[in-house]
Structure formats: C-alpha cells, structure tokens
Structure 1
Amino acid sequence: MPGHESEMENKPDWEPRYPGSGRMKDKVAIVTGADSGIGRATAVLFAREGAKIAISYLCEHDDAAKTKELCEAEGAEAFTLAGDLGKKEEADKLVSQTIENFGKLDALIQIAGEQHPDYEVEDITAEQLQRTFQSNIFSMFYMVQAARPHLKKGATIVNCTSVTMYKGAPILLDYSSTKGAITAFTRSLSGNLVDDGIRVNAVAPGPIWTPLNPFGGQPEEKMDSFGESTPMGRPGQPNEVAPAFLFLASEDSSYMSGQVLHPNGGMIVNG
C-alpha cells in the first residue's frame, strides 16, 4: 500500500488539462503522497503554475522519481523525500528539508493516506486501526505542527478528506472514520489560523482511479465495477481532482476557509 502506479496497466490520467497561468508563481508547496495518483497530478499541476515542489512519499521510489521528472519538465524545482509521516520525526524532517532547499513554505497539500477493506468490524485488527489513523490523520497533525512556524500570512493548507466521510463506507470503517476526523480537523484548524491570514480547506474526492484501490484498497471482486455507482457512472481521474487543490491553494479562493470541495462524479452530499 498504496501501490506503484508504474505497475498499473490502465494508468491514471495525471496530465494537467490546460496551460499554466502563474497562479503559484514563486510559491513553495509540500505535496504529500505525490508519487502517484491525485498527489502526482497535483504536484505536476502546481509545477506548471510556477511552484517549487517538495514531493513526499512512503516508499515508491520509481513513482516519486517519475513525478520529480514531470515537475522538472514543467520548469519547476523539485525534490523527493521518502518517509512515514505518521512518525513525527519524519514530518519534521520533510518540513526542515523543504526550508533548507527552498527557504520558505507557502502551501501544505496533504493527500497521503491508506485504506484497508473489511466486511466485518471484528476483522479490523488493533494494528490496522492504529496504522490507518496514524497514516491518515496523525500525519496531518504532525505536518501542521512542523510547518506552523514557517507559515506566514497568505499561506494555505489543503487536506484530502473523502466522500466516505459524508456517505459512509460499510467496508471502510476505519478509513471513513479518519476522513471524518480530517474534515473536523480542517474546520477547526481554519478557525485556529484564520486570524493569522492562513487559510485551511479540504477536498473530498469520490472514487478516483489511483494505485490505492487496485493494490488492496478495495476487494478484488469490486474493481471491475469501481466508480460505476456514481451518477456519472465511472471513476474520476486524478487530473479531474488536482484543480480543486490548486483553486484552494491559490488566491482564486481568497475568501474561502474551512470549506470542502467535492469532485465526486455527481454525488450530492450537502456538506
């Protein structure tokens, strides 16, 4: 988990869909989970828009190297750093490395996460429960704590929650619980930082075609119909989600904080 994009036959669409317009010019962004999927698409889009990128990932070195190559092809400076952000020391290291390389931090984009399907609540082991919370929500606390001294007025934080927080997910009990925590964290952190001119928002994707699901995030028997339950009848692609992160990280959303965007194939969640 979360799997290698390089090993997927039907590879996700990461390419930005439009020319850059300098919306992140001279900005520095950390993108967690940037080796593949939504993280890769977001990192490359930010690079096209003029940002310098810290590419954070767990252990998928080939995918991360490819993301760095793609960012540099857009004319951006980028570096990669592997590490488990569920460990505070790794989060501290990522932020300190970013400051050392680029001198500042303007946008913290938190996409990394993991999920494990279980049909029965009794099947969720104590180890899995702790691991899922550590990866998905503890990591966000650690990253914000490390980043906070470097975030100045105008900085942004964008967290990745999920449609499962709003609709529930019967076989993803621990995962959807972490996403509920992320949404509450986003709203509360927004109130905590708004007086300092730092905006905090979130994106809640629906079913998106990334390595996470075919590499164990969904039961194998569900993969043939993955995403078909949405009103659009298909899974989304990473490059259909990345613009939501760009909007919330840029000045385009300057009057928004504590909010959630919903690229989810047409599901109405009213949240």
Structure 2
Amino acid sequence: MPILIQVLINGLSLSAIYVLVALGFTLLFGIMKVVNFAHGGFAMLGGYALYYLYGVYDLPYPVAILGGALLVALGAMILERLVFRWFYHKMFQSMIALLGLNMAIVYGAVMLFEVNEKSIPTAARGILQVAGMVVPYDRLVIMGVALVVLAAFWFFVTHTRHGLAMRAASQDVEIAASQGVNTVFIYKLAFFIAVFMTALAGGLYAQTYALSPFMGERPLMVAFIVVILGGMGSIPGAALGGVLLGFAESFLSTFYGASVSAFLSFGVVIALLIFRPWGLLGKPE
C-alpha cells in the first residue's frame, strides 16, 4: 500500500506539470491554429529564468518561479510581433518556421549559458514521512504551485470576460469577431498566457530533473503526446491527457522501468492516431 500511495503522489506531481506544458501548446493551436515547435525553447527559458532568479540572485521562491515565467512571457511578446503573428491560421507553414525558431532559441542558449547541465536548488528542504510514505517537501511545493496556477487558469477561462472571449475564439474566430470580440487582443492575450504557463512548467520540470539548453525536447514531446491523447485544441482534453500520461508514467516507471513506460506511451499514441485521430475529447474535422 505505501508504494501505491507513493506512485499516486508522483503521478499527481507529474500530471500537474504535464497539464501546464500541454495547455500552453493546445491554447495556441486551439485559437490560432499554430503548431508551436518553439514550445520546448520557451520551457527551457523558463528553467533558466528560475535558475538565475532563485539559484543565483536568491529571490524568494514564489517570486522567482512566477516572476521568471512572467519575464519569459513578456520577452516572447517580441517574437509574437516579429514571427508568430505571420503564421496564425497557417498550420503547416508554422510548423517549419517555428521549428527554425526553436533551434535559434536553443543554440542561442548554448552560446549564452553553455551546454553544461545545471541544478536548481530545492524549493524546500526535508521530507514528509507518513505511514511509510516518503515525499520530499520540494515536490509538494512544485505540485502546489502547478495546481494553484491551473486553478487560476480554470477560473479565468470560465468566469472572466476575456476568458470567455478566448473560448469563443477557439470555437469559431469569425463568429466571435462578428459578435464584437477583439480578436487581435485575444490573440496577444492567449499567446502571453500560453508562454507563461509553458515557461512556468519548464521551471518546475528543470527543478525536478536537470537544466540545460536541450532540456526543452522532453516537454515538447510530452506536449505532443498529451494533446494527441486529449485532442488537438481541446483544453479539457489537454487536462485529461496530462493526468493520464502523468499517472501512467509514474506507475509504469515504478514497476516496469522507464523504457517500458516510454514504449507504451508512444504505442498508445500510435493506436489512438489510427483509431481515433481526433483524440479522446477532440472533435473530428
């Protein structure tokens, strides 16, 4: 029983990070039909922002994790103006262009930060022991931050005017515009929120594992797996896919090893693309 509880805790922690990673990806696709191959680059920059704000300049952890994601999102608005907006609703062109942008971000980071891996200090020292279960405090902090941000995002999209406008634009941008929705502003807002959540997830992921310029490859892969499971462009689908992948990875890695976990994850994605290509909660087009 203790080991199952441990698997549950680890699965919840991974799920929270994976949902954050996937929401940023699916938000851009759902509203602007952009396949953001630069997703991993933004996640990596979020890791470095946390490393410098928390590990080097010793800011309080809540300020560092949120402030780092905010700085990355603000800086990304320049790229939104120079690059992204030229590829809105151009799905295939965006894939090629943003793949090139991701490479530019990654190798720019190599020149700035070098290729050596860095470790981010823990958010809290010590462990919690309850009924044979061992949970590091820093894992609880990471899980708490992710869940708070996810709850804030859910409240935003369901209870605010701009959030409802984003949902309307994701359903049909032309009808939303005809009803008075300022689509230019909504695009900028959606892009900012997507990069903020991606950078935040990147910081949490880098703190859990390791930080390097090539760290973003795994978050990008996770984002693809999650949105394919849940359905491209579906926000509830991204949440469901992140939870399923997080718990499945925690269970399979614990009992069967990381290789089996990766094999089955991609096997499920391939099967889903064959039999239900629009995902669990997506809509066929």
**Structure 1-normalised TM-score?**
0.30
**Structure 2-normalised TM-score?**
0.29
Q: Decide which structure has the larger Cα Rg and report it.
A: 2
Name whichever structure is richer in helix by fraction. 2
Q: State the structure with bigger RCO (CA 8 A, min sep 6), 1 or 2.
A: 2
